[in-house]
Chains A and B, each alone.
Chain A
Amino acid sequence: MSLRRLEDAANPWVSWQYVHDNADSILAALREHVTLTAEAVVLAAVVAIPLAVVAYWFRPLSGPILALSGVLYTIPSLALFAFLAPLSTDTGLVLSALVMYALLLIVRNALTGLRQVPAEVRDAAQGMGYGRFARLLRIELPLALPGILTGLRLATVSTVALTTVGVLIGHGGLGQLILGGFRNNFYRAPILTGTVLAVALALVLDLLLAGAGRLVTPWARRGRR
């Protein structure tokens, strides 16, 4: 027991000394994490929103689109990294895996948002002479914004958590700190620092997106999650 207490004293969970001495590598890990997350969510949105629109316009396609992104989502992240690892081991690989996982969350929520546009609104728009694209851009997408934002928020938070798995091929952002600490003789300070930063990053990004959502949908103050 005394040995363990001694060990606890020498290996604290929280160590400002560690943070101070390793500020550079911590910041580099954080930067990589933020970059990967932002790129992944933006790319996923660029792919997912058009997919949701296609599924919305052509109802028979919505089943296959949701099923395909669902299967991609079910593949375990470690397996996905394992599939992709023989191809290369650069950040692009982590990025593509993250995009695949974010895809389903955004497609599903965007589609739900689009389908919630009331039929009367669509009829009115058609009656006013809106074509298919004008209706989409001016009426349907704005009204689906709460759903799209929900998808983006879920995707962002889970991408922040998932990025750490990229450590498997050496690009895991804060995951490098977490696993690095574990492998470095169970050094606790980097583990907790990485964890706290990852959770904080997820919450901050979520709040930012929620705030942006409030700004762009002033009519939906009491909107859905």
Chain B
Amino acid sequence: MSPGTAVGQAVTWLNDPLNWTNPGGILDRLTEHVTISAAAVLLGAVVAWPLGVWLGHSGRGGAVVLAVSNVTLAIPTLALLTILPLTFLGFGQRPVIVALSVFAVPPLLANAYTGVRSVDPQTRDAARGMGLSGWQLLTRVELPLAVPYLAAGFRTAAVQVVATAALAAFVNGGGLGQIIAAGFGLSIAVGGGQVLAGGLLVALLALAVEGLLALVQRVLTPRPLRRAGRSGDGAVTAGA
């Protein structure tokens, strides 16, 4: 089949309103995709942020952060997605959310750690000199200064999770990937267009989340800090 016909079929498929509104149609899958991704990123943040901030505050554990990112990078997403449903988590969305949150942890953790760590030591000394306790130092000085980093980590993690969530279709976990998987299940003459359309939807969603969160990150970053840019970004990303 030539690529041209596949594109034509994809457009036709996307133009059929029933493909959007049917049960298990695009709107259902989109909702699932966003719900799963949001839950996974939030779960990851609940675990990774306190840990990263605490490690950064106490100035220890750089090796831990590095080890976590390296090991999670080496675990195939597909492996966790297939293993977890066979454990006590059972089938459905729960194991998918847990699996995805594992991959959200490294960028969240690394950026939280770097953010707190990179607070100017002089600022920290000044705060200490003003009589702030360790807790006050953390909540009033270090955390506000680390917000750009936290936002950058959140963005990296969210984009990665949205992209990876498509793989949940392999284990029937829902999300836009199901459209692609269903397309592969059909004969290529019919399915080619649907596969392409599904791919297009997933890619657009990932790019939209990236753009949206870039905007949020910019708004959250105080003006003087904006030049710092996205850091800790290159260390721990996996496109999958």
Out of A78, A157, A191, which one reaches B82, CB within 8 Å?
Answer: A191
Out of A76, A104, A167, which one reaches B164, CB within 8 Å?
Answer: A76
Q: A74-B210, A186-B86, A198-B79 are in contact. Are A79 and B74 (CB under 8 A)?
A: no
| Residue contact B206 to A82, C-beta cutoff 8 Å | no
Residues of chain A with a CB closer than 8 A to B1's CB: 86
Does A225 reach chain B (CB closer than 8 Å)? yes
For the complex, give the distance between the alpha carbons of A179 and B112 in Å. 35
| Residue contact A77 to B240, C-beta cutoff 8 Å | yes
| Residue contact A199 to B82, C-beta cutoff 8 Å | no
Interface size class of A (residues with CB under 8 A): 35 or more
Within 8 A of A (CB), among B187-221: 188, 192, 195-196, 198-200, 202-203, 206-207, 210
For the complex, give the distance between the alpha carbons of A129 and B235 in Å. 37
**B208 to A: closest C-beta gap in Å:** 10
**Chain A, interface SS category:** helix
Residues of chain A with a CB closer than 8 A to B235's CB: 225
Q: A74-B163, A78-B169, A101-B239 are in contact. Are A191 and B86 (CB under 8 A)?
A: yes
Residue of A nearest to B180 (CB): A82
Q: A108-B234, A162-B240 are in contact. Are A175 and B196 (CB under 8 A)?
A: no
Residues of chain B with a CB closer than 8 A to A26's CB: none
How many chain B residues touch A (Cβ–Cβ < 8 Å)?
46
| Residue contact A161 to B234, C-beta cutoff 8 Å | no
For the complex, give the distance between the alpha carbons of A101 and B238 in Å. 9
Within 8 A of B (CB), among A170-225: 172, 174-175, 178-179, 181-182, 186, 188, 191-192, 194-195, 198-199, 202-203, 206, 225
> Which 8 pairs of residues, A with B, have the shortest CB-CB distance?
A82-B199, A76-B163, A202-B74, A79-B199, A86-B6, A195-B79, A78-B166, A164-B76
Q: A78-B180, A191-B86 are in contact. List 20 more A-B contacts (CB 8 A).
A: A75-B163, A75-B203, A76-B202, A76-B206, A79-B180, A79-B199, A86-B1, A87-B3, A104-B239, A158-B73, A158-B239, A158-B240, A161-B75, A165-B76, A167-B78, A174-B76, A178-B82, A181-B82, A182-B171, A202-B74
- A residues touching B (Cβ–Cβ < 8 Å)? 71, 73-83, 85-87, 101, 104-105, 108-109, 112, 154, 157-158, 160-162, 164-165, 167-168, 172, 174-175, 178-179, 181-182, 186, 188, 191-192, 194-195, 198-199, 202-203, 206, 225
